[in-house]
Structure 1
Amino acid sequence: MLKILRITAIILVSILSLSCEKEPPASLELSLAQVMIGNIDGEEKITVTSNGKWTATITSTWCTISPASGEGNGEITIKATNNFSTQERKVTLSVTSKSLKKSAEIIQSFSNLETDKSDIQFNKDATLKVVAVSSNTKWQVEIPAEATWITASPMSGEGNKQVTLTFTANAGLERSAYVNFKYADTYKSVRIVQERGFNSSPQAPVLKSPVNNLTDANRLPTFRWSGSKDPDNDEVTYRIEYSDNQTTWTYFATLKDTVYNLPAYLDENKKYYWRVLATDAFGGKGTSAVNTLTTGIKKSYFDGDYKVAQENTLGGAPNEILFLGDGYISEDFEEGGLFDRDMDLGIEHFFSVEPYKSYRGYFKVYKQAGYSRDSGVKQTDKSINKNSKFNTDFLGGSSMSTNTDLAFEYAKKIPGVDDNKLKKLLIIMVVNQNRYAGTCWTWSDGKAVAIVPVNKSTTPGSNYSNLLQHEAGGHGFGRLADEYVSSANVGKTLPVADSSKFMTWSKAGFYPNVDLTSNVTIIKWKHFIDRPGYGRVSAFAGAYYYSFGAWRPETSSCMIQNEPYYNAPSREHMVKRILSTAGVEFSLDEFIAKDIQKAPSTSVLMQTKSFNPLTFVPLAPPVMVE
């Protein structure tokens, strides 16, 4: 009996032990966190790993799953309807098992199509062109109903294929159309252009210069002709040819312009024949008459050529000035021609006034050519447009601008002139325009470009010499301030901001002829006051554009009404700069001994007397560039 009880107890303990074992923890995993599915007939699978029952859900009308539930490990098939849009689609697949939840993002690719050509242009002849289509979707070719001259094969397809476009010959005007490759909810276009089937030749050019049968012609002539009109409005190019026997023709150049400048001299004392052929893009030609010219020995400047107009004879390093011209056409650059005459006259104007007259030997002067397309320059204030080499412009009033960067570039064509030399070189831009104006552009590092028109006025203070002496001699080399009072500032005091600018430039070596104090014991030119011969020098209110707050040393000077006279402090400063560059020590006593014009001449005084401040228009302030 006891044995039976023991066996029963063992069985009960075993049963209790088995009934107390815990269930294993739930597990759930998906094989992918992101499922990429194709845009056409898209189908993919994802594996579920679980030790229990699970349920899958998805909220989408374009995507289905099967099965939606299971137990243990299983596989879910994902299917998507075709995506014919150009945007990808996304949805989330969620799988749950008891308290566990796993998700996977389903992304369906969008429809795409590319063609290897976007623009096809060809001549009038019948032809065919192949367009390679790269796509992941179905597509079809659409041709405008009116483009009956275009056919395509095949007209539809799926994926990557080649489409052959066939075009009939064109006997009419230029024609064009867009062939569209439609896919999804959009399309790619290929532009088709077929040249017209006929062509009219351009008119024959009419030769202008040199005139026919010209003798003693310059060895560097400028060839000009009228533009040819093309009946079809095609672009026309010109081929200029020459010969010495009318049998063998050699071409100078092919260009779009109607002006041509030779790159080298013609032989002297030789007869030449020349003509111009106008050609359009379709091969149509118009040929001019044949003109002749016989060269002599005359020469011209080439564009960019320079000549030394004056060598320095005193001192070491020279003070250098470059005369450039703007608004001068190539014919003006014949030796002894308009350019030379204007530059030579400008040189004489510069050195006609003291102290430049007495110190002329310290200067080296250059003249340099720059061909302009048109004669004269732009006048924006008068709505006149000209194509000149340096794009000089009258801006309004007496203000002017020019392409200073190009001026510096031309200056550096002269051997020895570099960026450092430009800081000491004065460039005078002589403008082939009969007009009153002028502006000097000055940089804090010393560069200066004085713009001076060749004004032929006889009004005192307004001609070429007056403008050059004010802008080039005064602002450009002398670094002088204007001494006049502008009409807008009559009765006004120099503002603090303008005083600050003045002091900045004054400390940099500019404006020796104006001071902001009237105290004669400390004023810049105190050493001239009460000195014999300099009775004109004192402190006179009104300078630097304002009636009060700035003082000038004499009652009148070039920096007021452009008269040919610089006051004593201005002359001193000019001489200091001249001698410094030449490596000669400045001496005040020597300066005074050589200062032969301590007061304006009688003629200058007469000009000053005739000066009417109510009608006189002063030159614009210099442009100061820091």
Structure 2
Amino acid sequence: MKMKSFFLFLLCFFLVAACSDKEIEPSFAIENSGGVVINSEVGSTTIFSFTSAREWKASCSADWLSVSPLSGESGKASLTITAKSENSTTVDRSATLVLSSGTVRKEITLTQEAGEIGFIEPDLTEYRMPVEGGVLQIGFSTNMGEDEFQIESSPNVDWLNQNEGGRAVFQYEVRLNVLANPGDDSRSVDFIFTRKADSKVMATVKFTQAGKLTPVDHTSDQSVRVLQTASKGNGIPIIIMGDGFTQQEIDDGVYANTMNKACENIFTEEPIKSLRDYFDVYAVTAVSKSKDFTSGDKTVFRCKLEGGQSTAIEGDDKIVQAYMQCVKNINYDDALVIVILNTQVHAGTTYWYMNSQTNKGIDFAIAYCPIIKGMDSEDFRQVLTHEAVGHGLAKLGDEYSYLEFPVITADVIKEVQSLQRDGWVQNVSLTNNRTEVPWSAFLSDNRYVSEEIDVIEGAYTFKTGIYRPTYESMMNSNKTAFNAPSRKEIYDKVMEKGKNVVSPAYEDFVAFDILHKPEVRAYLRARAVEEKPFARPRLVRKALNF
């Protein structure tokens, strides 16, 4: 009897031991059906409940939401989600709540409802007119009735007369007759949109009229101005030029100011910010007769905005290359050319080039970018950084995807394979094998744990079949810093072209990056404005003119 009891005891012991050795698989049971919706007001809260089989963590990239708690043990849990700011637009805004447990990751859409307060959004924030005057049309959209807002000028002037205007349901247009300017100097006025109920300023539009015409100096066309000379290395050439700028705007200094601003914007993100001394930057003056980008034949570089739902820009690369060669004694194969369009439209396109004889990519590139929403706008800075630095200089691929492109196509797979053989688009991968992705070194590097580098499906504009390193980055929403794999590609390119260092060592980059990398929170900010992402760079296979 004692022997039988002893064997029963051993059997139970081994069964218990076996059960304890088997780890519980992570899983989530979500109680809320569908997404989570929060009211538009600041301070609005909602509760999100779930059950986790194991310990868990929560994160949300939106800076207008807070989530608490951010971690917990197994069992039933409830998160309090709070709106940190009011949604003052008429469009819902969304963010993603990420629950993770072990290898399991669950994404939940958080939506803050559109606000009900009024808004006024001018089509442009700045208008210019020649000395002769004419009809000025100021367009803007609003959700307010005509009796709810008013427009005033500051200072009050007698050289503006209101003309008949028209409006659509939410689109208004104010037409003003502008008298000729009899003075030598330019003159300006601010149009201030205010809410009648409380005199709150809703928007401001600046208008400037040129002074008397100065003699047209056509010798300024194709003139070169040095914006920066490299103090380190070989001097990597960047050439900036503008399209759609008239002689009057060049004489008034508008062109020079725009080129200066574009130059400063290029060097605002790490690592190029700390590598600025390796670059030579030039501005080439280009005189256009018009700023009309609709037909592609009215500006010096014949730039055309595709319009509609497209953000693409086309230009005449032969003319661009001819103006580039006004800069002497540089290696044109290494040149990055940036063409700034004299419009505030949300658009941008970069063109990559391949040697038509060897079928290999060359570093020469043309990045087209408008002055999106004005020279001081973050959109102009961010899109210029994405297009010129990300695509143009470092040959990075896009890290976003479109719903209408569910699966990467066979021809694009071949394109990516070809580009990666030349060392390009190293921030995307056709495999999700963690040891084979181009950024595999970062996945096992504890120094980069805080950046949440992973293998995430969706990149190069496709939802599936291609992967990216992080949820957010400058090559995704434009609103965040470059992620570590992209920073390495920029660093490597500068070392290669600026110091003749072939295949810089990983540890050399890390040593540099630790000193200069931006704060991790920069990668986790949500997209502030939901704009349609751009098309991926266009690959040009033809003989070049240099």
The two structures share one fold, judged by TM-score above 0.5: yes
Mapped contact 2:483–2:523 kept (Cα < 8 A): no
SS class of match (2:427): coil
Deviations 1:266-293 (A, max 9, x none): xxxxxxxxxxxxxxxxxxxxxxxxxxxx
Does residue 1:394 correspond to 2:308, yes or no? no
Mapped contact 2:460–2:536 kept (Cα < 8 A): no
Corresponding residue of 2:430 = 516
Does residue 1:262 correspond to 2:176, yes or no? no
The residue type paired with residue 377 of structure 1 is D
Mapped contact 2:224–2:282 kept (Cα < 8 A): yes
Q: Distance in 1 between matches of 2:455 and 2:185?
A: 64
Q: Distance in 1 between matches of 2:516 and 2:350?
A: 26
Q: Alignment partner for residue 415 of structure 1, among 309, 325, 328? A: 328
Corresponding residue of 1:493 = 407
Does residue 1:605 correspond to 2:524, yes or no? yes
Which segments of 5 or more consecutive residues in structure 1 lack a partner in the other structure? 1-206, 217-221, 226-258, 265-301
Please say which structure displays the higher CA radius of gyration.
1
- Cα RMSD, aligned residues only: 3.0
Deviations 1:1-23 (A, max 9, x none): xxxxxxxxxxxxxxxxxxxxxxx
Corresponding residue of 2:120 = none
Q: Alignment partner for residue 448 of structure 1, among 355, 365, 371? A: 365
How much does 1:391 deviate? 1.1
Deviations 1:544-564 (A, max 9, x none): 122221111111111111124
Q: Distance in 1 between matches of 2:312 and 2:376?
A: 19
Corresponding residue of 1:592 = 510
Corresponding residue of 1:573 = 489
Q: Alignment partner for residue 260 of structure 2, among 329, 338, 344? A: 344
Corresponding residue of 2:384 = 468
Q: Distance in 1 between matches of 2:261 and 2:247?
A: 19
The residue type paired with residue 246 of structure 2 is I
Mapped contact 1:223–1:260 kept (Cα < 8 A): no
Q: 1:603 to 1:480 in 2, by over 3 A?
A: closer
Mapped contact 2:431–2:437 kept (Cα < 8 A): yes
Corresponding residue of 2:534 = 619
Q: 1:500 to 1:331 in 2, by over 3 A?
A: same
Q: Distance in 2 between matches of 1:409 and 1:386?
A: 17
Q: 1:349 to 1:263 in 2, by over 3 A?
A: closer
Q: 1:215 to 1:625 in 2, by over 3 A?
A: closer
Q: Distance in 2 between matches of 1:307 and 1:457?
A: 23
Deviations 1:485-532 (A, max 9, x none): 11202xx33222221111011112210100111111122111111213
**Alignment of structure 1 residues 32-51 onto 2, 5 Å:** none
Q: Distance in 2 between matches of 1:442 and 1:574?
A: 16
Corresponding residue of 2:292 = 377
The residue type paired with residue 390 of structure 1 is F
Mapped contact 1:223–1:261 kept (Cα < 8 A): no
Q: Alignment partner for residue 318 of structure 1, among 221, 235, 256? A: 235
SS class of match (1:577): helix
How much does 1:600 deviate? 5.2
Deviations 1:180-226 (A, max 9, x none): xxxxxxxxxxxxxxxxxxxxxxxxxxx9599767489xxxxx9999x
Corresponding residue of 2:338 = 428
Mapped contact 1:408–1:422 kept (Cα < 8 A): no
Q: Provide TM-score, normalisation by structure 2.
A: 0.56
The residue type paired with residue 395 of structure 1 is E
Alignment size in residue pairs:
329
**Segment of structure 1 superposing worse, 594-603 or 392-401:** 594-603
Q: 1:537 to 1:389 in 2, by over 3 A?
A: same
The residue type paired with residue 303 of structure 1 is D
Mapped contact 1:440–1:471 kept (Cα < 8 A): yes
**Segment of structure 1 superposing worse, 597-606 or 351-360:** 597-606
Q: Distance in 2 between matches of 1:459 and 1:534?
A: 33
Q: Distance in 1 between matches of 2:373 and 2:272?
A: 23
How much does 1:541 deviate? 1.0
SS class of match (1:321): strand
Does residue 1:358 correspond to 2:274, yes or no? yes
Mapped contact 2:480–2:522 kept (Cα < 8 A): no
Mapped contact 2:442–2:453 kept (Cα < 8 A): yes
Q: 1:440 to 1:427 in 2, by over 3 A?
A: same
Which segments of 5 or more consecutive residues in structure 2 lack a partner in the other structure? 1-130, 134-179, 187-209, 355-361, 542-546
SS class of match (1:618): coil
Mapped contact 1:328–1:432 kept (Cα < 8 A): yes
Mapped contact 2:429–2:467 kept (Cα < 8 A): yes
Corresponding residue of 1:533 = 447
Q: Distance in 2 between matches of 1:392 and 1:559?
A: 24
How much does 1:478 deviate? 1.1
**Alignment of structure 1 residues 108-187 onto 2, 5 Å:** none
Q: 1:592 to 1:377 in 2, by over 3 A?
A: farther
Percentage of pairs with the same residue: 24
Does residue 1:327 correspond to 2:244, yes or no? yes
SS class of match (1:413): coil
How much does 1:446 deviate? 2.7
The residue type paired with residue 495 of structure 1 is T
The residue type paired with residue 391 of structure 2 is H
Higher relative contact order structure (alpha carbons within 8 Å, sequence separation ≥ 6): 2
**Segment of structure 1 superposing worse, 541-550 or 593-602:** 593-602
